[in-house]
A and B are shown apart, each in its own frame.
Chain A
């Protein structure tokens, strides 16, 4: 409004005319904006819509050109097969357990480390922080094989006698890496926590110190409750990324179908080579089955996201992710 006012006094002189022009421009822009955003939203949601509709579609509908999005014949058959084949309740609980373990440990370790970086000035701090950034920049593929071998023949770096323990297939590789802030994208979480703690007022801590609170008590009782937005963000991100992760799960678990992502992978691979018997169109039916499997895999995250969506997006802004 203010801008328009000046524009008109300087240039047009005619107040009414300029006002109308400004309003027209505003309406025009909001129209353009609506069109662009609606189109982009549709493009983002399109794969999800396709997955969902084809997961509840009868296979005959795939050859019916009059069927666009809404299937004519609904069926839950694909879901039933995927559910049973993937052993959904068991694999779901396993995955949930692993994901929760990892994200809670990652949250704890990166909060501690972030607090250390954000609130203390010790020698070599900048160097250590540069190392955090380095862990982000080096691709995990590079340390994939050494990590694999170290956990396959785990000897605590020489403390246990040869040939060492095989930790692969257990939770231990995940626990050890996330406990020591070396898990999936952990450097980013340290970065977020550090920046957040840096931005908290000094006076809080000083007051606690004068009242005689120990360093740990200050941390737990004063600083942690204030860090809720950052804690939420780190937890949610680490949950989502761990749930979706295939790299570390493939690397540390290797075989079997105990976890949802591995079960889904095996499920897809199985039907690519063995066509489903009950169908006339084995190949296309495989695609429908895959979609049902993917929907089952993504459902927990989608539900979590719908519940937490306010925190997801708005906490990031409040955290000042960027410092």
Chain B
């Protein structure tokens, strides 16, 4: 009797393959095969001929060219990585703070939430590209960051005699404030969802025990939202891959269509992916041990 029942469930579960079959087909055709091709291309020279394309195996030539001949690749790569690493803590802290604030009750809350979501809509690929080319526009937006008092702020920090590295970091973050806000739109939503999923009975129990607001935040809210920090860190890194503000992305695309050719461009994206995968690995490794999961 029991065996029959299991069989029924197994039969039912076979339908699962049917449901995910679109993904399996897509993964094979438009992901796995292209990736294998990309690996092959990165070791070859690729030419387009009327009947298709030909590849000639050239060994490590493409990689050699990128790392030792091309003067731009290494600086751009390190620059991109440094920018990403600078951005991650800034975005995390900012979006967490905003999410906590937006989770409180106040007049006009839904309007403010809407505004913080706006960057998702406003940051179209074309618009970013045009803004970067449009000097007039840049000048006007620059005015906005002067209103933040960039110069004055730097002087203040210098007078405080803080360590130089710290000042550099702060200044780098301040210069990137508009970018940080823009990149925070989705992380804020993720944190908000996390904050709202904290069970209210925990707060009630803590209130009965006579907890202060400060303790309440650090001992309940923060640990329970900590998985979201990991999710957001991963999201932020992945998001920066496709951004048109990312120098590396633009550089790889340029190489494909004009400068170095397909093989070189693919090899570049391979190295870029390895670098990002390394960062992701480190971050997931460090965070996942400290994160608290309920259930």
Contact = CB atoms under 8 A, between A and B. Distances in A.
Interface string B179-193: 001100000011011
Contact of B129 (A143, A265, A321): A265
Contacts of B133: 268, 272
Interface stretch (B62-70, B161-169, B269-277): B269-277
Interface string A136-157: 1111111111110110110001
Contacts of A291: 137
Given A141-B249, A145-B256, A246-B125, A2 B26 contact: no
Contact of A44 (B118, B129, B190, B196): B118
Given A179-B22, A317-B192, A137 B277 contact: yes
B247 to A, nearest CB: 12
Interface residues of A, number: 99
Interface residues of B, number: 101
Interface in B7-29: 12-20, 22-27, 29
Interface core residue of B22, B110, B182, B211 (most chain A CB under 10 Å): B22
A321 B197 CA distance: 11
A84 B65 CA distance: 46
Contacts of A97: none
A145 B266 contact: yes
Contacts of B216: 3
Interface string B112-139: 1111111111111111011101111100
Given A139-B273, A164-B52, A309-B114, A44 B38 contact: no
A297 B126 contact: yes
Nearest to B36: A146
B14 A122 contact: yes
Given A145-B41, A145-B262, A145-B266, 9 more contacts: A2-B207, A41-B112, A109-B26, A136-B238, A181-B22, A246-B126, A290-B134, A298-B121, A313-B113
Interface of B: 12-20, 22-27, 29-31, 33-35, 37-38, 41, 46, 48, 50-53, 98, 101, 104, 106, 110, 112-127, 129-131, 133-137, 140-141, 144, 177-178, 181-182, 189-190, 192-194, 196-197, 207, 210-213, 216, 227-228, 231, 234, 238, 241-242, 244, 249, 252-253, 256, 262, 265-266, 269-270, 272-273, 276-277, 280
23 contacts: A113-B23, A117-B16, A120-B13, A122-B14, A122-B16, A131-B23, A137-B234, A139-B273, A142-B273, A144-B256, A145-B256, A145-B266, A150-B37, A162-B51, A179-B22, A180-B23, A180-B27, A182-B30, A190-B23, A243-B124, A247-B242, A297-B126, A316-B192
> Lowest 4 A-B CB distances belong to which pairs?
A180-B26, A116-B19, A120-B16, A246-B125
